[in-house]
Chain A
Amino acid sequence: MPTQTNSDDRIALLQGTLDLLILRILVLGPCHGQGIARSILRQSEEVFFVDHGSLYLALQRLEDKKWISAKWGLSASNRRARFYSLTEKGREQLLQKTNEWRRLTRAMGLILGDPSTEEA
């Protein structure tokens, strides 16, 4: 069972990375909060633990910045939920942040001696 994973193996998200993850998930299409949380957990192979309070605050923050928009709709199971979708501005941000993140991880990797760079 996915939720059985020992919580010690999970990594608390770095400040600012949650925003990036949310944007990334939403590229695939509109999604509600629970769906986003599930996707992050699943796609990170259950490494990232998403604190739900933080998640909704981040959603609110992104909505304020107009990177994402929200409206109430019906889920697959016909349940009312608030669906978030990426705005044009959000799409640009995602691109930029992704690039920044890549540069950061590459630089970190170079210094820390990432096996992949060593091989290269």
Chain B
Amino acid sequence: MKIIKLLTGICIFFLSYTSNSFSLIEVDITRGNLNPLPIAVSPLSQNNKTKKIFQNKLNLDDLGLEISKVIENNLKQSGLFNPLSKDAFLQKPDIAHLKPRFEDWSLIKAQALITGKVLIENDKLKVEFRLWDVLAAREMLALSFTTVPNNWRRVGHIITDKVYERLTGEKGYFDTRIIYVSEEGPKTQRVKKLAIMDQDGFNIKYLTLGNELVLTPRFNPTNQMVTYLSYFRNLPRVYLLDIETGIQEVVGDFPGMTFAPRFSPDGKKIIMSFAKDGNSDIYTMDIENRIVERITNHPSIDTSPSYSPNGKHITFNSDRSGYQQIYVMKSDGSNVKRISFGKGIYGTPVWSPRGDLIAFTKLHKGKFYIGVMRTDGKGERLLTENFYQEAPSWAPNGRVIIFYRETKTNKEGEGFSAKLWSIDLTGYNERLVETETDASDPSWSSLLSN
């Protein structure tokens, strides 16, 4: 027994001696590359029978390929991913979905892989997909969805949201819509209609005929209602439109013009500006009981109100300091604080859905900027500058901002065009959002599949 104890002691001494002879070396890796993640989106596989059924139903030659293109386009637009060319893929989609040959995918430099399968079940479209970590040779995510076949594009968006969330750690913003003002005709006789489309520019629908001027449409939190500005008896007034029924109504009976409407985060109130005798203040109206409440009372122009996501605060712009600046106050109108102190004038503040930032438009030395600042006004960052641009609206994950920009259509500065653009918080990923017509005043919906 003593011998065993002695031997154990010697072993422990020996092991501790050897293990302590070299302490663990630590190396700090503080830099990396900021290139988008190379990702392969394999066409979703389907058998011949399914392929023929969808060819008849949807008039699409290869539904699996089309869904993969929706995903690929979304990922590319995000700026965070680099979808690899399908021409380089070595493995067939059906086999890849079953068990990828990871060496083949790492050979083409893919770090992540999306595979999938399209099925038909009881006349419904069923889509399975898997996300793979190519370098770790393992599955990261596997889900399936069932829906009516016509919703195939939405399935592509929902898959992108899931992949985006798994690979970035934050919610996606792809299964969303954008409402905006479609514009056609010369600047002096512009026909403006409310239009709604998927965030990638597909499925455009027009909600008004263009008889009246429309401006600043905003979704409610459930994306079923829209508030916007139009004209009633030649006065600009805030309207409410039920997208489902197509019924619209004037909000409140104000003896003057109302404008810049927006919903409260719970969707129960509309906050807006009401102008009379050259003074405008901020008001709210409860949609259900129509009770109106005055929030600001100041002999200056207070407008563009926007609630914080928790509904406790409101940001707005006001010229009470002499020129237009951004302010924050409690939702009852108390404790008003100016937060913008930079050079130039600031307007259209919009609180981020994350609650951490406020996006704004800034005009300085004849140039327009879209920027963000923290809610106390610190950390101002200008993301993009141009000849004329404004009206930022946040994607539901608070990472991307959509806005509109007007440009001259030729070098001589003649002509005029308005288009929607998006930019992310890094300020690098600026992209044109395709629309059929000219477009302005975009507003991003929340996630539809939430």
A binds B: no
